[in-house]
Amino acid sequence: MTDHSPEAGFCCPDHSGTSQAQAILAQAEARAREAGLRLTPVRRRTLEILLEAHGALGAYEVLERLAAEGYGTQPPVAYRALNFLVENGLAHRIRRLNAFTACAQPAHEHRAAFLICESCDSVTEARADGMTRALGAAADAVGFVLARSTIEAVGLCRACAQGRA
């Protein structure tokens, strides 16, 4: 069994059925409360859907589930909820996959890097504060004022690299 604790710097790609998902959801709710965010039913459910997912989900996959549960059936419903979560640090957008994933550590502000497995499509979130600092320095060097950054890596997750590929 791999180490799935937050201290290991990453989170299991499959949150479902684990107490992890509930812990993360609780963190997210706490954070929303503190920040005065309105975690409405669609938004909350969207976050749960991301937490239940294996790997990242596309907006239309999220929409399917929402629609099946009586929420709106049209793309903006999913995009709005997802954008809300991303803007407020409760989820991340994975550009390489045109997909979204729940933030593994919504309790703390942090810079994340994403490790995307080519074989099983899992996405693990690694802390990237150091890399972000380095990037900030590089930006400073050319007079660029950095607002935010995205770091995405593609390769094989541990399980797939070990022959389960």
In the complex with a copy of itself, the residue whose CB is nearer, 67 or 126, is 126
42 lies in the binding site for DNA (CB under 7 A): yes
Query: Which DSSP symbol is given to 54?
Result: B
Nearest-approach distance from CB 55 to a copy of itself, in angstroms: 14
Locus of tokens 């045109």: 98
118 lies in the binding site for a copy of itself (CB under 8 A): yes
Kindly report each contact of residues 108-116 with a partner whose C-beta sits within 8 Å and lies 24 or more positions away, as own/partner: 111/149, 112/151, 113/151, 113/152, 113/153, 114/151, 114/152, 114/153, 115/10, 115/153, 115/155, 115/157, 116/152, 116/153, 116/154, 116/155
In the complex with a copy of itself, the residue whose CB is nearer, 60 or 144, is 144
Nearest by Cα to 135 from 114, 152, 149: 149
In the complex with a copy of itself, the residue whose CB is nearer, 24 or 25, is 24
Question: In the range 49-88, which residues lie near DNA by CB under 7 A?
Answer: 58-60, 71-77, 79-81, 83-84
Question: In the range 10-39, which residues lie near DNA by CB under 7 A?
Answer: 38
Contact residues: a copy of itself, CB under 8 A = 2, 8-10, 95-96, 113, 115, 117-118, 124, 126-128, 130-131, 134-135, 138-139, 141-158, 161-162
